[in-house]
Structure 1
């Protein structure tokens, strides 16, 4: 743990004072309500004997608490932390710049604080995020049929080896090793919750994942084997269709997806995925409820594994599955994204008809 928690009396006083100095470093779980909050939460303060203090969101969730709807402890800190907002704005203004630690220090920020804040909220440091942004620009050049050297230069990579290594880390192979006549095409997808990678054939979408998902490299390698090594970079009709549908989803237009998808999984996994698509936007179910719905009430763990094996993020809405106690559970794209997706989909919740 990066921050050593003070004693209970100090933390309880910080809760009473709504002390912002502890924001993101300490949380309180309230035993009488089953929720956990930031210490700055505006809700009525609980009695001391009902408080449990934790140093991370993960610890709160593992203890069985669910996030407070008022202070939203899983909300990304970009809007609440001026430093994160300032750096994200600077990255947007100079996307091709090779950001360094000196740049961050010259902007007046403490390196360790920034590193901790970005890692906590986004699962990566600011410098890793900046590098990912440059990689996206190089990816776009290759998707349009450009040369590798042009993509490397446009992305701001001074070293060809660094550019190759970045691609290999993401998709399992260097840019020069992609097939010139592919069966599957990888493309970059930009969303308000972070960049994604799609992999599609001319007729179906096979994968849609956030680029920082740890399983992405393994999943793309598996797809490459199914395509007998014929994985390339480029645009397809399904790839363009899912981009348009994601824009509509995040803009509040529609939660429906009609892009044709290839469901690469076991019969049981496909049965689970089909049930996930029947969960109405703006609502959630537990793993045990999914198991009962498919007639396998004792298969809760198998349902969770099938949920984790889903390669089509957002389209097959595994983010709508929560713990039996109402808490958020593991999500490959990050718990903050899971909470945000649930929040976004509230606008799509079916309206009850008036009697």
Structure 2
């Protein structure tokens, strides 16, 4: 929402003038004369006091009609992991057998308190919980290949089988032996020009790609776990890595088609609608009515709109390309301003080819 407290407005304006790093992600400044919004550390010329208003989220600025500044890239840089967090995650990935304690973080001149706060705010879990999930995911993948619990326990840094078994069952909800033929849903995070997104994947492919501030996202997670009968834990796999690469290329205007494998649980009707969505050409728009006609069910306009709403894979399954019959933008889980941005983005790059 827009900030109305006079003291806060003066405080934020001063922080904008001094490029105060502490306010990055705390406020977003909308410049009325240019219709762009920025973060506190933006290098662009500063607006006059009367020409700026402040928002508490970048989504609020988008909803108010502002565009992300091309200089400070607010939706990317305000949510990008700080250097200390990046270093902490690197310590985990490069040393999977070692528990990265506060002592180790301090040894590398990393603030444990700052890392904990960031993980709690952006992931909703502690750094140590993230670390346990990463190690258990490594163990899960190793068990799939070697199927040797003792070796796996020690290879992932556990000093006792009981400790490994307890942590493993707490996260995976099954014992190591019981889970050999089980699959899990891995979740990771990526940053885009429209804000951070969560990406989920099974061994079969991507099953979710959503903006982290999407309404009902927690309900989507619950439904996904129930439908697939799998547990969501933080981790990484080749599908997620490929998604990050292709999504980055999409936002750079270099990619118009995706090669990512998908795993989209749903009814036959829903999957029929989602397949129809994937056939809409890049840079083109269709209506719910046209979509219903294309699946040979012209009376199912509302059902089609509902199925679009249940699409969990944003951008790749492009429900943003569907508009109302009157030409108006309608229903988009990531927000109508994001929908408008995506449509304009594709129009711009499709005209260049």
TM-score interval w.r.t. the shorter chain? 0.5 to 0.7
Q: Which residue of 2 aligns with 1:222?
A: 227
CA shift for structure 1 position 94? 1.7
Of 117-126 and 35-44, deviating more is 117-126
| 1:11 CA displacement | 1.3
Distance 1:54 1:244, change over 3 A: closer
Q: Secondary structure at the residue paired with 2:75?
A: coil
Which digits, 9 at most, give the CA deviation of each residue in 1:88-113, with x for residues without a partner? 33333323221233333444444332
Task: Determine helix, strand or coil for the equivalent of 2:143.
Answer: helix
Task: Confirm whether residue 163 of structure 1 aligns to residue 168 of structure 2.
Answer: yes
Q: Deviations over 1:244-265 (max 9, x none)?
A: 9659737969764567766532
Aligned-pair CA distance for 1:273: 1.8
Distance 2:168 2:114 in 1: 28
Kept in 2, the 8 Å contact 1:66–1:328? The answer is: no
Question: What's the counterpart of residue 201 of structure 2?
Answer: 197
Cα deviation, residue 63, structure 1? 5.5
Structure 1 residue 161: deviation in Å? 0.9
- Name the CA shift for 1:75/1:94 in 2 (closer, same or farther; >3 Å): same
Listed as ranges, the matches of 1:40-59 within 5 Å are 40-57=41-58, 59=60
Aligned length: 306
1:243 shift after superposition: 7.6
Structure 2, unaligned stretches of length 5 or more?
A: 192-197, 232-236, 293-299
* Aligned alpha-carbon RMSD (Å): 4.9
| Whole-angstrom distance in 2 between the partners of 1:264 and 1:251 | 25
Residue by residue, what CA displacement relative to the aligned partner does 1:31-64 show, whole Å, maximum 9, x if unpaired?
4555432022233433323422234445545666
Q: Aligned residue for 1:352?
A: 352
Q: How much does 1:73 deviate? A: 1.8
CA distance in 1, matches of 2:6, 2:131: 31
Q: Alpha carbons of 1:209 and 1:26: their partners in 2 closer, same or farther (altered >3 Å)? A: closer
Structure 1: gaps spanning 5 or more residues: 226-230, 232-238, 331-337
Q: CA deviation at 1:164?
A: 1.1
What is the TM-score of this pair, normalised by structure 1? 0.62
- Aligned ranges 1:1-355 → 2 under 5 Å: 7-31=8-32, 33-57=34-58, 59-60=60-61, 65-75=66-76, 81-121=82-122, 124-157=125-158, 159=163, 160-168=165-173, 173-178=174-179, 180=181, 185-186=183-184, 196-200=200-204, 207=207, 214=218, 215-216=220-221, 218-224=223-229, 246=243, 249=246, 256=257, 263-266=264-267, 269-278=270-279, 291=288, 293-294=290-291, 302=306, 305-307=309-311, 310=312, 315-317=316-318, 324=329, 329=334, 349-350=349-350, 352-353=352-353
Partners in 2 of 1:326 and 1:218 — Cα distance?
20
TM-score of the superposition, structure 2-length normalised?
Answer: 0.63
- Measure, in 2, the Cα distance between the counterparts of 1:127 and 1:319: 37
Question: 1:15 deviation in Å?
Answer: 1.4
Q: How far is 1:314 from its partner?
A: 6.8
* Alignment CA distance shift 1:259-1:68 (3 Å): closer
